[in-house]
Structure 1
């Protein structure tokens, strides 16, 4: 079974949290770390006094892959990699969810056809994310 988890920026501190995504009836979003949550199939019990409210704009899903350093890759991460082949190219790109799949975008919303399915991320390095490091893509443009 593939791992499904999310990352988001806590509203009260600006720190990042990874875990299960919950959305309340009033639209607030929460990411609860797995270590703080117990379920019985019908109820979830959160064993923490920490507030886990996250900024909905910062929520990104784990894509199920790690980079060459073993860092997990999430939606909205900024990646750096060099393609292999006869004419290797250096890319700085972001991970987006588009057309029912995680894909790579070059900052101008064009997708790299050869890498759009994220099959070779072992050659990539996570260098930031779109929320904290937007300048990484702006430098490239």
Structure 2
């Protein structure tokens, strides 16, 4: 009961403020991720970036841009079948994450399959992509 009283007495503005800070941080990471991908791949991504990354195609192309053929097989939508199955999306994402490991992204910087497929943590995806690009621009970084 005492814990409940302490909770009621806590400052509700603190949790609201923290929530806004987290949202702002996520927007900043999204913007950075968008700029990174668009500049490296010379593409314009749709407004809903997490949705655009969910099938793993763009991420696989990013890995291949950093290190050619690091993702040997990428499932891409076609005019006949414009939407990939969840299994193919998962395979693309797994291939991207495996390429990140091979290229030298540290394990603690690699997001999970669920972070991408289920849009669990855009920040984690941005950290992974950022680490990958850092290695691509400074290959010595992968040896650290």
Instruction: State the structure with bigger RCO (CA 8 A, min sep 6), 1 or 2.
Output: 2
Tell me the TM-score normalised to structure 2 length: 0.24
More strand by share: 1
